[in-house]
Amino acid sequence: MIMMLNLLLSIIFSLLNHPMTMGLVLLIQTILISLITGMLNMNFWFSYILFLIMIGGMLVLFIYMTSIASNELFSYSNKMLIMIYLSIFMLPVMYMCMDSYLYSMNYNYSENLLINNNLNYTL
């Protein structure tokens, strides 16, 4: 679920044109990547350090962009809104499809493991 959300944010990032919204998307992606690395390593120290480094870079980016584009207004494009609505709609659908596929793969693996264990006991 987190990986799919990260993929959708990457697609949405290509449609953005304001530096502040790009910074917000980068911040969300930083949090998601830190969560992914923490869950994969079963240790959150590396993800915590990665998060702090990325937030430091985002702070420099935020200060630079506020000094350059401080009075620029947000403009909402219809293409971006449609893409966001479609991605929000497709996220649960993709999750359900992937969940059922992964569940069937796990079930087949555990069934094969059980059969192999039973065959080894009979020999």
* 9 CB neighbour count, 10 Å cutoff: 16
Task: Quote the CA–CA distance of 85 and 100 in Å, as a whole number.
Answer: 24
3 state DSSP class of 70: coil
19-76 confidence digits (pLDDT tens): 778 888 999 999 999 988 888 888 888 889 989 998 998 888 888 877 877 676 777 7
Phi, psi of 84 (to 5 degrees): -65, -45
- What average pLDDT does range 94-103 have in this prediction? 65
Residues 2 and 30 sit within 8 Å (Cβ to Cβ): no
Task: Quote the CA–CA distance of 25 and 44 in Å, as a whole number.
Answer: 22
* pLDDT at position 85: 78
Share the mean pLDDT of the chain: 77
Does position 7 have pLDDT exceeding 70, yes or no? yes
Amino acid at 66: T
Does position 122 have pLDDT exceeding 60, yes or no? no
Does position 123 have pLDDT exceeding 80, yes or no? no
Higher pLDDT, 37 or 114: 37
In the chain, the percentage of residues whose pLDDT exceeds 90 is: 8
How far is C-alpha 7 from the geometric centre of its chain's CA atoms? 6
Does position 103 have pLDDT exceeding 70, yes or no? no
Kindly indicate the confidence band of residue 113, based on its pLDDT and cuts at 50, 70 and 90.
low
pTM value? 0.63
